[in-house]
Amino acid sequence: MARPGAIVGTLSLIVFLRVMGITLVVTGFLSYVRTLGGTPLQGGLALGAYPLALAIFLTPMGHLSDRYGRRRVMLAGLLVAAAGSLVAAFAPNWWLLALGRFISGAGAINGVALAIAGETSTPDTRTRRFAVLGAAAGGGVVLGLVGGQLLVSAIGMRGLLLGFALANLAILPLLRNLPDAPVSPTGRLRVERVVLLLGTAAFSVNFSLTLLLALLETLVHAAAPGTDISLLLLGMLLPAGLGMFAASRLADRGHVRSVGIAAAAMLGVAPLVFATGRASIWWLLAAGIVFFLGQSSLTSLLPSLLSHQAREGGRGAAQGVQSTLQYLGSFAGSVAAGALAATALGLSVAFVAAGVLVALVIIRVVRHRPVVPALPVPAKF
């Protein structure tokens, strides 16, 4: 098997690509659907087909990887994703575009990548490995948004979809770096209580993240008209990303409970500055750094805890369940943004409740001894 560094590098590239598939086509997508004769509603359905498929297929794909091998399921997922993107790229109408996006999302292998990361190398670097994957996911969001804006005018939406298909195929040779032996050839899909608890925390993290991002432009422009949102986001994300690696190192050194509770507090309290709608741009910047530090720290900590707690032979399915709940959290956050946009009290309650829920899960889970330790290999990442 390849060295842990090569494995984590391959997993990061896969996670980056899968997440970027959501944001890359956002700019200009609805306009493109209109050229195919679709309505705005039909465009929204086509755009949402990809994350919907991710939410549906993450758990089954993780379970299949437990039974038949990680690399085999990764291979199948990338091929399915490429095939769906090809259908979408050459779709003559909106519903075939939606079908292609759904097929592409059905290659849902993020949970498999997280399972492999948890089984690679030694326990004392586990959270840092997940931090690398979290950084890759964040990079996929940011570069997808920025790159999509630049590329859609150059190669068009069809070119973006075709490029995404080719990118999935280009990763296939790197799969030789990944393990392939099935972990539990006869295991049945079984969801444990600890998986649901940590999945609920992941739901809350993505709920808060989506709720804040959906309202960020409106809130920032109310406080400081004319502010460049892209530059402000970079100013928030860069220091938060550096802090995430420091937090993950602390967690790996035995301070999991303290790091988790502190991150949950940041998640619940920092957005209150945004909810007031009257803070200066500097207060918003500081609050954003604190919020994204908490959010990114939890994004690496929660899958690490799940890998530590999940039963042997069920980590793929467990990571799939957690990832599914994460995407459902994003959906709920989107709905809440529309429902609570004009209510400062409602927003405040939603953010604080999400933070409290995450803290309670951390307190409940971390006090117990792990069910199954991570599987060590001689080398360290």
Q: H/E/C letters for each residue in 71-85?
A: HHHHHHHHHHHHHHH
Count H helices, E strands: the chain? 14, 0
Q: Is the separation of the CB atoms in 147 and 102 below 8 Å? A: no
Rama region for 122: left / alpha / beta (φ>0; ψ in -120 to 50; rest): beta
The arithmetic mean of pLDDT across residues 37-56, rounded, is: 84
The pLDDT-based confidence of 215 (bands split at 50, 70, 90) is: confident
Helix (H, G, I), strand (E, B) or coil at 69: coil
Inter-CA distances, 231 with 142, 227, 366, Å? 11, 8, 37
Nearest to 165 by CA among 110, 84, 98, 52: 84
The pLDDT-based confidence of 360 (bands split at 50, 70, 90) is: very high
pLDDT value, residue 49: 84
pLDDT value, residue 25: 78
Query: What DSSP string runs through 169-218?
Result: HHHGGGGGGS--S-S-TTPPP---HHHHHHHHHHHHHHHHHHHHHHHHHH
The pLDDT-based confidence of 180 (bands split at 50, 70, 90) is: confident
Residues 143-155 pLDDT 10s: 776 777 778 778 8
The pLDDT-based confidence of 359 (bands split at 50, 70, 90) is: very high
pLDDT at 79 over 80: yes
Structural domain boundaries in the chain: 4-177, 193-366
Burial class (CB in 10 A: 0-12, 13-18, 19+), 378: exposed
The arithmetic mean of pLDDT across residues 167-189, rounded, is: 75
pLDDT value, residue 274: 82
Inter-CA distances, 81 with 74, 161, 235, 310, Å? 10, 11, 33, 28
Both tokens assigned to 70: 């990680």
Helix (H, G, I), strand (E, B) or coil at 58: helix
The arithmetic mean of pLDDT across residues 26-45, rounded, is: 84
The pLDDT-based confidence of 78 (bands split at 50, 70, 90) is: very high
Alpha carbon 345 to its chain centroid, in Å, reads: 28
pLDDT value, residue 372: 39
Nearest to 19 by CA among 125, 148, 170, 178: 148
Highest mean pLDDT range out of 60-64, 290-294, 370-374?
290-294
Integer Cα distance of 136 and 328 in angstroms? 20
pLDDT at 280 over 70: yes
pLDDT value, residue 121: 66
Q: Out of 170-179, 187-196, 213-222, 350-359, pick the least confident.
A: 187-196
| Percent residues over pLDDT 70 in the chain | 89
Judge if 4-177 and 193-366 fold alike in CATH terms: yes
Integer Cα distance of 294 and 239 in angstroms? 12
Inter-CA distances, 36 with 31, 67, 96, 100, 346, Å? 9, 41, 10, 14, 39
Inter-CA distances, 71 with 114, 204, 272, Å? 13, 30, 44
Both tokens assigned to 365: 């889970």
Q: Give the fold, CATH level 3, of 193-366.
A: Growth Hormone; Chain: A; (1.20.1250)
The arithmetic mean of pLDDT across residues 217-241, rounded, is: 78
Both tokens assigned to 131: 């931090």
The pLDDT-based confidence of 281 (bands split at 50, 70, 90) is: confident
Name the CATH superfamily housing domain 4-177.
MFS general substrate transporter like domains (1.20.1250.20)
Highest mean pLDDT range out of 78-92, 306-320, 321-335?
78-92
Residue 163 CA neighbour count, 13 Å, CB half = 17
pLDDT value, residue 355: 93
pLDDT value, residue 380: 36
How does the average pLDDT of the chain come out, rounded?
81
